[in-house]
Amino acid sequence: MSNAKQQDGLNLADLGAALSAEDRAGLVNALKDKLQSLAGKHTDILETLSPAVKKRVEFLREIQSQHDELEAKFFEERAALEAKYQKFYEPLYAKRYDIVNGVVEVEGNKVESADESDKANEEKGVPGFWLTAMKTNEVLAEEVQERDEEALKYLRDIKWCRIDEPK
């Protein structure tokens, strides 16, 4: 698969993740309606089929309808699961923020408050962490341009949150 096609697929996946369950269900229904309207335009093709084949096609439509209903339920359950795990991720994100920004210092397996007096001359945190993370991410790497890098070096945190009712 080409990188452009892979990127398009990932963008669609990102779009699906960003949509609420209601929006996804609406999108599925809109696509279904569009497909049915297109199928209506191609009635002449269906008319050329034998009665046995038409019967099979109608049965396949019913299977697709059942699939669409299950998919809408899947999107709802996935949104609830994502919301549940987002709460588990928050403490990890807070620790990451503190380490990346030099709020705390890591000693062995322990995290301790960064002492300003002992390490005044030492570099704090992880400089350029988010720029490096973005440049090494398969999805974002192509989006980061050289002209962006100077500004992106100053990122202190990136957060993702679900918008329950996007407008």
Domain boundaries, the chain: 3-152
Higher pLDDT, 147 or 108: 147
Residue 9: band (very low, low, confident or very high) from pLDDT cuts 50, 70, 90? very low
Element (H, E) at 105: strand 104-107
Residue 3: band (very low, low, confident or very high) from pLDDT cuts 50, 70, 90? very low
Q: What is the pLDDT of residue 8?
A: 42
Residue 64: band (very low, low, confident or very high) from pLDDT cuts 50, 70, 90? very high
Q: What is the pLDDT of residue 109?
A: 72
Rounded Cα gap, residues 156 and 140, in angstroms = 17
The answer to whether residue 140 scores a pLDDT higher than 80 is yes
Higher pLDDT, 125 or 4: 125
3-state secondary structure at position 145:
coil
Give the best-scoring range by mean pLDDT among 15-29, 36-50, 72-86. 72-86
Residue 116: band (very low, low, confident or very high) from pLDDT cuts 50, 70, 90? low
The answer to whether residue 117 scores a pLDDT higher than 50 is no
Rounded Cα gap, residues 157 and 105, in angstroms = 17
Q: What is the pLDDT of residue 121?
A: 64
In sequence order, which ranges of the chain are alpha helices (DSSP H)? 3-18, 21-41, 43-47, 51-100, 129-135, 146-152
